[in-house]
Chain A
Amino acid sequence: MIELKDLHKSFGDREVLKGIDARFENGKTNLIIGQSGSGKTVLMKNIVGLFTPEKGEILYDGRDFVRMTQKERVMLRREMGMIFQAAALFDSMSVLENVMFPLDMFSDMNRTDRIKRAMFCLERVNLKDAENKFPGEISGGMQKRVAIARAIALNPRYLFCDEPNSGLDPKTSLVIDGLIHDITEEYDMTTIINTHDMNSVMGIGDNIIYIYEGYLEWTGTKNDVMASTNERLTSFIFASDLLRKVKESYK
């Protein structure tokens, strides 16, 4: 479980995060949603340690990430997996080498076992025939699946996804969402997804937090979204005609 307590972050005079309190439970897909510029990417970067907050606590199962020593942070980071918006695969390495990379760096397995583990992860994301290809030779959806395989190679306790459906067609987005959701339940991980995709919100949103201008505006589940009367949330989620009609028919 990850808890945020009174998290503040500024860039110069501009305060981007204005005291966020949130709780992300394990075994659930936790979604951070919000308009562009609302601060959700900054929030994610604070949680994973790419930014340091001015004030507040980030608790990983009770361990305060902000006040840890550098060595403790490095150790905790080995319990994290992350899927980036652009997949962030190492383009000089093959698909198999990409998935093996965390194992090469941090595991004491021999080479045969490392390959076996990487192949298992690739099979888990239905990519066992692509192991010798390079990132430039596979589609965006396949790159995201390789990124998922790499992220789970070391059995992380915490999985972070920054807009995992960005640039993907709706059908592939559903596949990626389904994979993340299944893996979260299977490994009992704490998964946090930063997304704009309303299909993801309604499909896998076990716990959703809505950020508005640096504040935590609303929190709930995908079922609560339909019944919510929060105007900012509804105007954000049901922005399109199609979704407005879905909401009206729900009423």
Chain B
Amino acid sequence: MFLTNSITKFGEYLCLMGRVMSLPERWRMFLKQYIKEMAALGVDSIGIVLLISFFIGAVICIQIKLNIASPWMPAFTTGYTTREIMLLEFSSSIMCLILAGKVGSNIASEIGTMRVTQQIDALEIMGINSASFIILPKILGLVTMIPMLVIFSIVFGFVGAYATALAGVITVDDLTLGLQHEFNQWYIWASIIKSLVFAFIISSTSSYYGYNVEGGSFDVGKASTDAVVSSSMLILFADIFLTQLLS
């Protein structure tokens, strides 16, 4: 039953994506929607990304310093480990899990409300490919903005770490040395590549749940929750494969 249900949903998802991936009917309207979505999904998420990254950067630095402090460990280890955690996992995977909650529920509830208030039917009757008109700008908007959010997250994680240095947890020199130690530029690219895949998962999965809502406000809420849960699970599965693939 669960397997049949999952295969059916995956088939429906593929069919929907088939309809989404078509050329816009009016480029002028598409660009207007695209810019609006970049602002709604990307720019409006900057605040939460900066806040969480700052505090997580600071907490990682403190935890590493407290737990691996030893005369046998070089002083730059704290900075080095903070950098690796921020670059390799937090700023891509964990940040996208957080965004799945914020952006995913937003997308599913917005599209779900459009469905139950017949706005999607209105588009269809006008002869517009509603799936492409509504969903494509959301997917492209989030995929475009996610690298910027990842870079902001990395930078503000380091700012958080420096804040602990100013508070006396670690010296600024040791932290700087650790952050620069054996720096591999590929890690930033890997982080961005992972986040692009996760952005597609968040926006497309949430759109699928919103687009297929049937019923009323209760069902919109349920679709919103399902979108967040499914996006998070898919991100975690994809993370395993991508980590293996990109490392």
Report 10 cross-chain contacts, Cβ distance below 8 Å, ordered by A residue.
A48-B125, A49-B124, A50-B124, A73-B127, A77-B126, A80-B127, A84-B122, A89-B119, A105-B126, A106-B127
Q: A104-B29, A105-B25, A105-B26 are in contact. Are A50 and B121 (CB under 8 A)?
A: yes
- CB-defined interface of A124-153 with B at 8 Å, one 1/0 digit per residue? 000000000000000000000000000000
> Which residues of B are in contact with A by a Cβ distance under 8 Å?
25-26, 28-29, 117-119, 121-122, 124-128
Cβ-defined contact, A86 with B29, below 8 A: no
A78 pairs with B127, CB closer than 8 A: yes
- CB neighbours of A75 from chain B (8 A): 127
B121 touches A74 (CB 8 A): no
Inter-subunit contact B26/A85 (CB<8 Å): no
Shortest distance from the beta carbon of A128 to any chain B beta carbon, whole Å: 23
Closest B-chain residue to A162, C-beta based?
B118
Is B118 touching A88 in the complex (CB atoms < 8 A)?
Answer: yes
B residues less than 8 Å from A88 (CB atoms): 117-119, 121-122
Which B residues lie within 8 Å of A76 (CB)?
127
Not counting A86-B118, A104-B28, A105-B126, a sample of 18 additional A-B residue pairs whose C-beta atoms are within 8 angstroms of each other reads A49-B124, A49-B125, A50-B121, A74-B127, A78-B126, A78-B127, A80-B125, A80-B126, A80-B127, A82-B125, A85-B118, A88-B118, A90-B122, A102-B126, A105-B25, A105-B26, A105-B128, A106-B126
In the bound complex, residues from chain B placing their C-beta under 8 Å from that of A89 are 119
Interface residues of A in 16-65 (CB under 8 A from B): 48-50
Query: Can you name the residue of chain B whose Cβ is closest to the Cβ of A76?
Result: B127
In the assembled complex, the CB of B213 is this many whole angstroms from the nearest CB of chain A, namely 15
CA distance A211 to B247 in the complex (A): 66
* Residues of A contacting B: mostly: mixed
Give every chain B residue within 8 A of A105 (Cβ-Cβ).
25-26, 29, 126, 128
B127 neighbours in A (Cβ, 8 Å): 73-78, 80, 106
Task: List, in ascending order, chain A residues with CB within 8 A of B128's CB.
Answer: 105
A residues in contact with B119, CB < 8 Å:
88-91
Nearest A residue to B116 by beta-carbon distance?
Answer: A86
B29 to chain A: which residues have CB within 8 Å? 104-105
Contact in complex: B25, A50 (CB < 8 Å): no
- B126 / chain A contacts, CB cutoff of 8 Å: 77-78, 80, 102, 105-106
A73 to B118, CA, bound (A): 20
Q: How far does the alpha carbon of A99 sit from the alpha carbon of B223 in the complex, in Å? A: 30
| Shortest Cβ gap from B106 to chain A (Å) | 13
* Contacting residues of chain A (62-121) with chain B, CB-CB under 8 angstroms: 73-78, 80, 82, 84-86, 88-91, 102, 104-106
Residues of A within 8 A of B (CB): 48-50, 73-78, 80, 82, 84-86, 88-91, 102, 104-106, 160
Q: How far is the CA of A53 from the CA of B28 in the complex (A)?
A: 35
Distance (whole angstroms) from the CB of A1 to the closest CB of chain B: 19
Q: Separation in Å of the B32 CB from the closest CB of chain A? A: 9
Q: Which residues on the B side are within 8 Å of A84 (C-beta)?
A: 118, 121-122
**Alpha-carbon distance between A26 and B28 when the two chains are bound, in angstroms:** 35
Please name all residues of chain B whose beta carbon is closer than 8 Å to the beta carbon of A82 when the two chains form the complex: 122, 125
The answer to whether B26 and A104 have CB atoms under 8 Å apart is yes
Bound-state CA distance A77–B117 (Å) is: 20
CA distance A49 to B119 in the complex (A): 16
> Considering the chains assembled together, what is the distance between the CA atoms of A75 and B125 in angstroms?
11
Most interface-central of B26, B118, B122 (chain A CB within 10 A): B122
| Nearest B residue to A85, CB-CB | B118
Closest A residue to B40 by CB, please name it.
A92
> Within the complex, what minimum Cβ distance (angstroms) separates B115 from chain A?
11
- A-chain residues with CB within 8 Å of residue B26 when the two chains form the complex: 104-105
Q: Is the CB of B125 within 8 A of A77?
A: yes
Contacts of A50 in B (CB 8 A): 121, 124-125
Cα separation A89 to B113 with both chains bound (whole Å): 12
Cβ contacts under 8 Å, B28 to chain A: 104
Cα A120 to Cα B26 with chains together (Å): 24
Chain B residues near A104 (CB, 8 Å)? 26, 28-29
Hey, which chain A residues are within 8 Å of B117, CB to CB? 86, 88, 91
| Nearest residue, chain A, Cβ from B26 | A105
A76 to B126, CA, bound (A): 9
Question: In the complex, what distance in Å separates the CA atom of A75 from the CA atom of B29?
Answer: 19
Distance in Å from the Cβ of A242 to the closest Cβ of chain B?
32
The 8 closest A-B pairs by CB, nearest first: A77-B127, A88-B118, A88-B122, A74-B127, A84-B118, A82-B125, A78-B127, A88-B119
